[in-house]
């Protein structure tokens, strides 16, 4: 993709954020973005990445509920890119390597770039590292994983984004990618739990909703209070308390010590239906 298309994708991602009242420093939720843009997002039981359709001015994004939790988020941003660039009907088939850009046409590369910069503006990524006093080339895998949790994207997605945008060196990227989420989880617990997505939330979190699905794990600082009707305490770790999402619905966590609070929104595992109703 030539530089002008790359620049166009980044500019469009910034325009969408600013149009909806989000600055370039704050994490966003892609499903909330689509809701504000009046674009229906529906999870389906189909083995694909995603599909964008626009029937008579009624745009809709279909996302496979079979894909990993953070992958669905990036895919939704990708399909939103097809909408804002007026690409018409687009089907994105199953792919194990979103970074294999050599096999993609300019439209696909452009909407991947749009999704990356909508979810992870460089200013936002830098801000999250700065507020934690982290240096990109010294930070550990668990630091990157924490920030990927805050941004709602996959660990590998964040690392590759930092590499592509020259926030880290190729050597640092290679070092980080030796670690998988499973290895990071094992390093925290010293053992393997059931293979499922997990998030690490620290005390620097903003008051933004945290999205999970039933069976996901959540590691929280010890200062936070939770509603045990929705989150079951599993064990204490060196990085905080490990909880597991057990019931769909909307709950909250809060810390009087840090004056922080936010909603926890839990959807059923492999939820099928419209994104607006995923927590009901």
Q: What is the pLDDT of residue 101?
A: 46
* Number of helical (H) and strand (E) elements in the chain, helices listed first: 9, 13
CA distances from 50 to 54, 64, 71, 207 (A): 14, 6, 10, 29
Q: Which helix (H) or strand (E) holds 185?
A: helix 181-189
DSSP state of 52: E
Tell me how far apart the alpha carbons of residues 156 and 138 are, in angstroms, rounded to a whole number: 17
Contact (Cβ atoms closer than 8 angstroms) between residue 222 and residue 243: no
Distance between alpha carbon 44 and the CA centroid of its chain, in Å? 19
Strand 198-200 to strand 217-220: parallel, antiparallel, or no bridges (unpaired)? parallel
Nearest residue to 234 via CA among 252, 251, 246, 247: 246
**Burial of 65: CB neighbours in 10 Å, binned 0-12, 13-18, 19+:** buried
pTM for this prediction: 0.93
**pLDDT at site 103:** 62
Residue 96: its pLDDT value, please?
A: 53
Pair 69, 216: CB distance under 8 Å: yes
Q: H/E element holding 171? A: helix 170-176
**Domains and their CATH numbers in the chain:** 3-119 (1.10.10.2910), 123-179 (no CATH), 188-277 (2.60.40)
Q: Mean pLDDT in each 10-residue stretch from start to end of the chain (280 residues)?
A: 86 97 97 97 94 90 96 97 86 56 76 97 98 97 98 97 97 97 89 80 93 97 93 94 96 90 95 96
Which whole-number Å values give the CA distances from 152 to 70, 178, 211, in the listed order? 6, 21, 8
* 3-class SS of residue 260: strand
Which residues, other chains included, contact 167 with Cβ-Cβ below 8 Å and sequence gap of 6+? 122, 125, 126, 136
Identify the CA nearest to 118 among candidates 34, 4, 5, 3.
34
CA distance 136 to 151: 16
CA-to-CA distance for 183 and 163, rounded, in angstroms?
21
């Amino acid at each position: 993709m030539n530089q002008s298309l790359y620049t166009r994708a980044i500019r469009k991602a910034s325009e969408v954020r600013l149009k909806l009242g989000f600055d370039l420093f704050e994490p966003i939720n892609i499903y909330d973005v689509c809701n504000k843009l009046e674009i229906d997002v529906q999870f389906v039981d189909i083995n694909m990445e995603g599909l964008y359709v626009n029937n008579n001015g009624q745009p809709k994004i279909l996302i496979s509920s079979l894909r990993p939790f953070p992958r669905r988020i990036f895919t939704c941003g990708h399909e939103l890119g097809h909408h804002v660039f007026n690409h018409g009907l687009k089907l994105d088939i199953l792919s194990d390597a979103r970074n294999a850009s050599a096999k993609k046409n300019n439209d696909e590369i452009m909407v991947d770039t749009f999704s990356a910069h909508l979810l992870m503006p460089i200013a936002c990524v830098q801000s999250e590292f700065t507020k934690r006093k982290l240096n990109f080339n010294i930070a550990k895998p668990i630091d990157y994983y924490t920030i990927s949790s805050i941004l709602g994207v996959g660990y590998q997605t964040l690392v590759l984004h930092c590499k592509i945008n020259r926030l880290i060196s190729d050597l640092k990227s290679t070092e980080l990618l030796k670690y998988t989420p499973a290895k990071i989880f094992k390093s925290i617990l010293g053992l393997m739990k059931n293979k499922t997505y997990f998030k690490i939330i620290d005390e620097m979190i903003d008051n933004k909703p945290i999205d999970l699905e039933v069976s996901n794990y959540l590691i929280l600082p010890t200062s936070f209070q939770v509603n045990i009707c929705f989150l079951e305490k599993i064990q204490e770790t060196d990085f905080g308390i490990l909880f597991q999402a057990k019931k769909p619905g909307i709950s909250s966590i809060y810390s009087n010590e840090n004056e922080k609070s936010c909603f926890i929104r839990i959807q059923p595992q492999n939820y099928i239906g419209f994104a607006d109703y995923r927590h009901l």
